[in-house]
Copies of this chain bind each other. A is one copy, B any other.
């Protein structure tokens, strides 16, 4: 005979159907997900029309994705979910490290965003990523250490950013060359340095379902200017983070909730002259210094 389930018991009935699930983690994640989506539907008394609109939204979001565009990441970012996951992961990495409480704080993580490319040009320290793009030459430098200040040598140090207009290389025409991105390696003292530009604020893409959602929420789509970094070194938890430009707009309302106070840095202005590495500059340049502290693997 049929076992009929009342609407208010439906979430539990769905969960009970997983009795033969072989993967305890999957089962526990799905149990929580099922509870929450049913609670959501009941809480808002979701109508069939709203439900269909949501399914059409999800479908359009999937179909907007291609090898250059990940619209679900955009939605996750703008709903703060990506940053939530980043926060959970970093808290776990720190908790797993027994020295963490007594040591100086690790550099905070933030969202990766959709513009990272594995396999960026490997360049020597001091390299210039600006190419022919506009903007004041800007020197980035600092060091990478563990939580006790000991240098981390040979750390793979990926950097990538928009230009001063807010565009990433992958957004510049068809099959654009890689620009404003590189992978460096820290030296024996844990030092890194490179030249690039000062990144500008820019809007996340608003020509797809994610943008439509954002605007319907009454929000602006801007991110403050920021330089992306991904640090990977043997024996340490990988770190994905940004440096945020301290005089940028939107620091208090980043569309993806990525700003950490500890990641906001001043950019210093310099007159034309001789810069770091003996570089002769015939126009004003800027500089930015930041030290990174990595969490050892447990």
Q: Which residues of A contact B (CB under 8 A)?
A: 1-7, 10-11, 13-14, 17-23, 26-30, 32-34, 36-48, 50-51, 55, 58-63, 65, 70, 72-73, 76, 79-89, 91-92, 216-219, 244, 251-253, 257, 259-261, 264
Q: Which of B10, B59, B216, B244 makes the CB contact (< 8 A) with A70? A: B59
Beyond A5-B257, A10-B87, A76-B51, whether A40 also contacts B32 by CB under 8 A is: yes
Q: Are B38 and A81 in contact (CB under 8 A)?
A: yes
Least Cβ–Cβ distance between A229 and chain B, in angstroms: 16
Q: Are A45 and B88 in contact (CB under 8 A)?
A: yes
Q: Which of B19, B89, B217 makes the CB contact (< 8 A) with A218? A: B19
Q: Are A43 and B47 in contact (CB under 8 A)?
A: no
Residues of the B chain whose Cβ atoms lie less than 8 Å from the Cβ of A4: 259-261
Beyond A7-B83, A32-B44, 17 additional contacts (C-beta under 8 Å) are A2-B244, A2-B251, A2-B252, A7-B91, A10-B83, A13-B257, A26-B217, A28-B44, A29-B50, A30-B217, A33-B40, A34-B79, A36-B36, A55-B72, A58-B58, A58-B62, A60-B62
Least Cβ–Cβ distance between A90 and chain B, in angstroms: 9
Q: Are B1 and A252 in contact (CB under 8 A)?
A: yes
Q: Are A92 and B17 in contact (CB under 8 A)?
A: no
Least Cβ–Cβ distance between A38 and chain B, in angstroms: 6
Least Cβ–Cβ distance between A134 and chain B, in angstroms: 27
Beyond A19-B218, A55-B70, whether A45 also contacts B252 by CB under 8 A is: no
Residues of the B chain whose Cβ atoms lie less than 8 Å from the Cβ of A85: 41, 46-48, 51
Q: Are A55 and B73 in contact (CB under 8 A)?
A: yes
Residues of the B chain whose Cβ atoms lie less than 8 Å from the Cβ of A37: 36, 79, 81
Residues of the B chain whose Cβ atoms lie less than 8 Å from the Cβ of A29: 44, 46, 50
Residue of B with least CB distance to A82: B51
